[in-house]
Amino acid sequence: MLFKHTEFRNGRDVTARGRRLVVSFICSIVNYDYGFYWSFYQDGSIGFEAKATGIMSTSLISPTFPQDPNAPEFSTLVSPGVNAQYHQHIFAIRLDPMLDGVRNEVSTVDAVLLPQNAKENPYGNGFIVKETLLRTSKEAVTDPCPASARFWRISNRNSINPITGKPVGYKLMPGNLHKLMAAEGSYIWEKAGFARHSMWVTPYTDDLEERYPDGRFVSNRNGNYTGVHKWAERNEKVEDSDIVVWHVFGITHIPRVEDFPIMPVE
């Protein structure tokens, strides 16, 4: 539906069917198949969805292999003698915003409960939003906060919305945001540095190395890793300027028997 409303005073009901344009592609990477879907809606919103399917990474064990009841489990037995390891799928979307021009900026927006008092909040249910401008690439390294319903606002202070009187902007509303399951200093932690946080903002550059969240030729590197986590350390200005927004999200996959042999879309 695009929208629906029932007017109870006169019994009238109106429902409008929505339409969307979906631009999609599928990448088959070793045993997994990933579907990526951009959806453009009639209300001006843009949605993105990543879907994982294909075959899980598995290993073979003896069906009679003795199990230590005190040992930690790292996998699920999905078929006799077949183990599927616990793992993560983490994606990074590179957004090059141009909201009424290239001079854009990003803020965090959090809902904040007001203190209860007789004048401004007599019933204790009043809340406001606190918007915090991320001025440098170091400040912009941020994460979700479910307790405050946090979202990120990409805006242009040089273009004012005639209705609100405030800068035009888009809300970036997070979906599946999972903590990187790797210890600090570990191999994965060092190699997949972009996955340590959910939001990064860096200045735009034509450097091909900075076209990708972990740089080019990631698999060929052994040490001396680069990536957005390194570029953020330059602490460059990202307010009212030409910026790139990196949004990180993913799936923590604890396999089940139904995921084998071909995994349903997750």
pLDDT in tens, 128-161: 999 999 999 999 999 999 999 999 999 999 999 9
pLDDT beyond 80 at 178:
no
Name the residue range of residue 119's domain: 92-249
**What's the number of domains the chain is made of?**
1
pLDDT of residue 66: 60
Q: The domain that contains 196 carries what CATH number?
A: 2.70.98.20
Q: What are phi and psi of 196, to 5 degrees?
A: -70, -25
Q: What is the dihedral of CA 111, 115, 118, 124, to 10 degrees?
A: 60
In a domain, 136, yes or no: yes
Average pLDDT, the chain: 92
- Residue 135 included in any domain: yes
pLDDT at 222: 74
- Cβ contact 155:167 at 8 Å: yes
Q: Is the whole-model pTM more than 0.95?
A: no
* pLDDT of res. 63: 67
- Rounded to 5 degrees, what angle do the CA atoms 94, 95, 101 make? 150
Query: Per-residue pLDDT averaged across 251-255, rounded?
Result: 94
In a domain, 112, yes or no: yes
Asked if residue 69 is part of any domain, the answer here is no
Residue 65 lies in a domain: no
Q: What is the pLDDT of residues 84-93, one digit of tens each?
A: 999 999 999 9
Q: Is residue 196 part of a domain?
A: yes
